A and B are shown apart, each in its own frame.
Chain A
């Protein structure tokens, strides 16, 4: 799952994008991992994440299977962290998304102290992750670099759209919907936060960053370069 590695944008555009995730390895440390994964999610909440999720059930903002028609006028877009934690019932990757480095650093320090024995990764800019490790006094173990997109890149949309759609590396946030949300914010039909919530619901593992999305939507709608 390289679902957070290939987010599009220069390193400064990840200043509000820190994903800390935990996973176990088959046959190595998965025997007693479920409560530890849940503990990881529980520990993240005090550090005020902007999203929390597991790769099976999704994030803190989910689509409804039976939406009340009145929701069109009063839709609840509050992140439900408790539902994510309580709903975790199988081994998978769990993630906490932060919109600032300090929160991510403090959470990494707490995870280190908790000594869960799970593999912990930070997905952000190369420098941002290094700084988190330095603050926590942890030398990096391994690094997976993204070298960006190559090949028939003429098939890709513009940078504003890519900044949004690549926040779901599984591709569940379509380019068309990202473009539509930019247009709707531009037209004043939705606030950046409402449009970001709409995109967030499509992410099936909870790593989409609604705070970064709202910033990008606002900047793109104004014609500024979000990158």
Chain B
């Protein structure tokens, strides 16, 4: 992302809206500037700020007058008064940043918008996680910290070494050069994204081992981790297996996504047509 210095009036509104704090007012130029090393190309600034199309010279003059008189204009905080943001033409490997950070861009690997995962949200149709199995979503970088692929690599290697199988239809998996070893392609190691999710599925007997492994590895990684655990309920809609295991490990889940089982397969053949 770029900010046009000819348009920017240094109002500072954008410095607050950047999820990773990559926008600042450069004291030398007195213009908002993007730290491109930290910018994850999420487009929150470009898409989230409303835009006015005011004359920059007029706005700068007005701001100087207010400043001299020690007056504070109290404009809306989510507006770029001069529409100064200009998206860069992204090229590989930087395109990875946007794919993993801008929720409006679908992941090519899965066609799913957002983080590109389906977890147990369509489990009633896909049957991805069955009784006796546990589906894990191990998310890195959320909320508002971000993650480098080199950190993600550490976790992928550890999981692969433990013999787990990565979900094939997952954006992180699609960037692996070797799924068996969990090796992610080398050319994206120095790319930072807002968040990335590893998806795996294991028999319920191995769930505790995986959680303990995550506990060990997350200490070596310089970001936050959000664990999601998916389970198939029994015929009565109860989960007597995974919830007690989580309690035993000290977790008391406050929140969940609950698939209520109203979905059904309507297409005879698994023909990939459009993203979900």
Contacts and interface: CB of A to CB of B under 8 A. Distances in A.
Nearest to A138: B260
A202 B77 CA distance: 12
Interface string A140-184: 111111111111110111000010011001111111110011001
A174 B223 contact: no
B255 A126 contact: yes
Interface residues of A, number: 100
A155 B18 CA distance: 16
A144 B262 CA distance: 16
A72 B75 CA distance: 6
Given A122-B257, A142-B231, A171-B143, A29 B79 contact: no
A175 B254 CA distance: 22
Interface stretch (B27-35, B63-71, B113-121): B113-121
B243 interface: yes
A1 B239 CA distance: 23
B121 A140 contact: no
Interface in B177-203: 194-195, 197
A14 B124 CA distance: 25
Contact of B42 (A65, A120, A144, A172): A172
B125 A28 contact: yes
A108 B260 contact: yes
B142 interface: yes
Contacts of B74: 189
A8 to B, nearest CB: 8
A120 B228 contact: no
A16 B121 CA distance: 22
Contacts of A129: 256-258
Given A93-B114, A174-B19, A69 B52 contact: yes
Interface in B252-276: 253-267, 269-276
Main secondary structure of the interface of B (DSSP, over half): loop
Contacts of A90: 274-275
Scoring B18, B21, B78, B140 by chain A CB atoms within 10 A of each residue's CB, the highest score goes to B78
Contacts of B266: 28-29, 31-32, 117
Interface in A19-43: 21, 23-33
Interface string B217-236: 01101111111111111011
Scoring B129, B251, B257, B275 by chain A CB atoms within 10 A of each residue's CB, the highest score goes to B257
A209 interface: no
Contacts of A106: none
A133 B114 contact: no
A67 B83 CA distance: 10
B230 A144 contact: yes
B123 interface: yes
B137 interface: yes
Interface of B: 15-19, 21, 42, 44, 47-54, 74-79, 101, 103-104, 110-126, 129, 135, 137, 139-140, 142-145, 194-195, 197, 214-215, 218-219, 221-233, 235-239, 242-243, 246, 251, 253-267, 269-276
Given A75-B76, A176-B16, 6 more contacts: A25-B263, A55-B104, A112-B262, A119-B121, A122-B258, A138-B262
